[in-house]
Amino acid sequence: MGQTLSGGRAPAPVGTNTCVCDVTPPVSLTLPMDAAASRRARAFLEQTHCPAHNTRVLSRARLLLSEVVTNAVRHGSPPITTELECRGAEGMHVRVSDASPGAPVVRQVDVEATGGRGMALVDLLSEQWGVEPGQAGKAVWFQLREDAA
């Protein structure tokens, strides 16, 4: 389902997309670098998602946001910021940025491994995903559409 964009056409940054939702504005939250970050990100998603366009993708969004935020806590650098944007019929756009330039990798892991599957889940369950290098780190984003669920 998903794809990594590396040098190809990148999505418009949060808040600048031409397909704007008239129900829910883009929102962002800076998260702590601790074990509670994923829980706080999920609560933020629950409170701020677009009820008109994003309800059916909420369970996938919860899982993938948890995975990406956990990666940022484990492998990134502060600050961690999560951004949510409803793009109407184009779906939900989620972006997690941190100050580390290191990009996540989809790994092949052993069946017995207790971790390492986060980005594989993002790749499998999102319509698109990618990594945007920034001046101070990177942002990992994914896109979910209701009609693709």
Q: Distance (Å, rounded) from C-alpha 116 to C-alpha 113?
A: 7
Average pLDDT, rounded, for the chain: 87
Note the pLDDT of residue 30: 98
Note the pLDDT of residue 3: 38
Domain 4-8+21-148 has CATH 3.40.630.90: no
pLDDT, mean of residues 75-88: 96
CA dist 22 → 15, 81, 85, 87, 90 (Å): 12, 23, 11, 9, 13
pLDDT, mean of residues 66-75: 96
Each residue's pLDDT tens digit, 6-64: 433 344 455 454 567 999 999 999 999 999 999 999 999 999 999 999 999 999 999 99
Report, in this order, helix, strand and coil percent for the chain, each rounded to 5.
Answer: 30, 25, 45
DSSP category for residue 55: G
The residue to which tokens 């948890």 are assigned: 66
pLDDT, mean of residues 67-84: 96
Contacts of 65 (CB under 8 A, 6+ apart): 38, 41, 42, 45, 82, 94, 96
Q: Where are the alpha helices (DSSP H) in the chain?
A: 37-48, 58-75, 118-125
CA dihedral of 62, 66, 68, 70, whole degrees rounded to 10? 180
pLDDT, mean of residues 67-96: 96
Residue 57 near residue 146, CB atoms below 8 Å: yes
